[in-house]
């Protein structure tokens, strides 16, 4: 495992201990992410702190159309009978580290909420996922990546229409490896898990890790940003040619792409099941270990919430898969 950094600690202490921060770090947190009565930003649950992933201005910084906001959806957007929280206009990316509340397996997962690269479903596909992972002894790192809007390039979109979300993903994995010893993480067991647009981001970081999209800013950018495994749940932006059944050429699968788990419903009317199919075929042809589960019904954007459909059991499948690839033990 890499040695602890000699730079001032800007990130939370591991294993549920009280975080220790420099005064500078606290100033950054409150300056960028303080609550406002007019434009409330998302805040994690008590006992957790979100922290900036960039030491200064983010690479390829884009101005947001409006201040960051977090709002609860209405009755027209319920999932399993409950509303969810969407975060919009994110221009200052953060991580929140959730340490295991069970025996620590050493594995860690960076979670990418979905939202079409325009908003983030921060609880449905974020904090609720972390609750599940930490209960299994896995450190969860929730990435609030940049979705500054408006819905046009270069501010919005899947790479390469906009590079900023992928830059945030690369940066985050480097940070995890740099601070692995402090956070009780095995640097060889760091994976990613994303939903919808976040599922595409999981594929993007799985195929764009040899070179950073931005100039290195510190020691974290000297660490590998290749995930050790990837989970893509109802991913989008992978199927690009409806007439020729082609994989998005901006997701260049090679034999070095990490082992991948795919899951999607055939009645998904937001991201077509062909997104998973074309990616599965490319992974299989490249000799990458891949497991895919397709279901007839279940739709899109269900997260971990219990529904009447069999797909709702998918977390058990992921746990079994993580065991078979050696990331966690039984």
Structural tokens at position 193: 């898990």
* Helix ranges (DSSP H) in 164-313: 164-178, 197-207, 274-285
pLDDT in tens, the chain (330 residues): 333 332 323 333 333 333 333 333 433 443 443 333 334 789 999 999 899 999 999 999 988 889 999 999 988 889 999 999 999 999 999 999 999 987 999 999 999 999 999 999 999 999 999 999 999 999 999 999 999 987 788 888 899 999 999 999 999 999 999 999 999 999 999 999 999 999 999 999 999 999 999 999 999 999 999 999 999 999 999 998 878 899 999 999 999 999 999 999 999 999 999 999 999 999 999 999 999 999 999 999 999 999 999 999 999 999 999 999 999 997
| Model confidence, pTM | 0.88
Q: Is 85 helix (H, G, I), strand (E, B) or coil?
A: strand
What whole-number distance in Å separates Cα of residue 285 and Cα of residue 146?
A: 33
What whole-number distance in Å separates Cα of residue 212 and Cα of residue 39?
A: 33
What backbone phi and psi angles, to 5 degrees, belong to 321? Answer: -65, -45
**Rg of the Cα trace of the chain?**
18
Q: Residue 292's closest CA among 203, 173, 228, 201? A: 203
């Amino acid at each position: 495992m890499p040695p602890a950094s000699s730079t001032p600690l800007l990130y939370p202490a591991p294993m549920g201990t009280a975080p220790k921060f420099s005064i500078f770090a606290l100033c950054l947190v409150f300056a960028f992410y303080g609550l406002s009565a007019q434009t409330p930003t998302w805040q994690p649950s008590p006992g957790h702190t979100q922290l900036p992933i960039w030491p200064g201005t983010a690479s390829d910084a884009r101005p947001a159309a409006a201040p960051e906001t977090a709002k609860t959806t209405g009755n027209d957007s319920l999932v399993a009978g409950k509303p969810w929280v969407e975060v919009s206009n994110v221009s200052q990316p953060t991580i929140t580290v959730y340490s295991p509340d069970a025996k620590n397996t050493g594995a860690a997962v960076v979670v990418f909420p979905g939202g079409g690269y325009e908003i983030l479903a921060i609880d449905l596909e974020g904090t609720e996922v972390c609750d599940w992972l930490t209960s299994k002894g896995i450190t969860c790192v929730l990435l609030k990546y940049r979705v500054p809007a408006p819905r046009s390039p270069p501010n919005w979109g899947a790479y390469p229409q906009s590079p900023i979300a992928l830059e945030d993903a690369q940066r985050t994995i480097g940070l995890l490896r740099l601070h692995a010893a402090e956070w009780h993480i095995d640097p060889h067991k760091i994976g990613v898990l994303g939903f919808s647009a976040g599922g595409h981001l999981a594929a993007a970081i799985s195929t764009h890790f040899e070179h950073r999209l931005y100039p290195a800013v510190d020691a974290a950018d000297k660490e590998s940003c290749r995930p050790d495994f990837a989970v893509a749940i109802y991913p989008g932006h992978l199927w690009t040619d409806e007439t020729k059944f082609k994989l998005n050429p901006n997701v260049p699968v090679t034999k070095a792409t990490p082992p991948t788990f795919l899951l999607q419903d055939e009645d998904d009317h937001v991201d077509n099941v062909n997104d998973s199919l074309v990616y599965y075929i490319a992974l299989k042809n490249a000799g990458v270990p891949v497991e895919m589960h397709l279901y007839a019904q279940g739709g899109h954007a269900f997260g971990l919430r219990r529904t009447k459909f069999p797909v709702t059991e998918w977390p058990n499948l992921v746990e079994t898969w993580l065991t078979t690839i050696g990331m966690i033990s039984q």
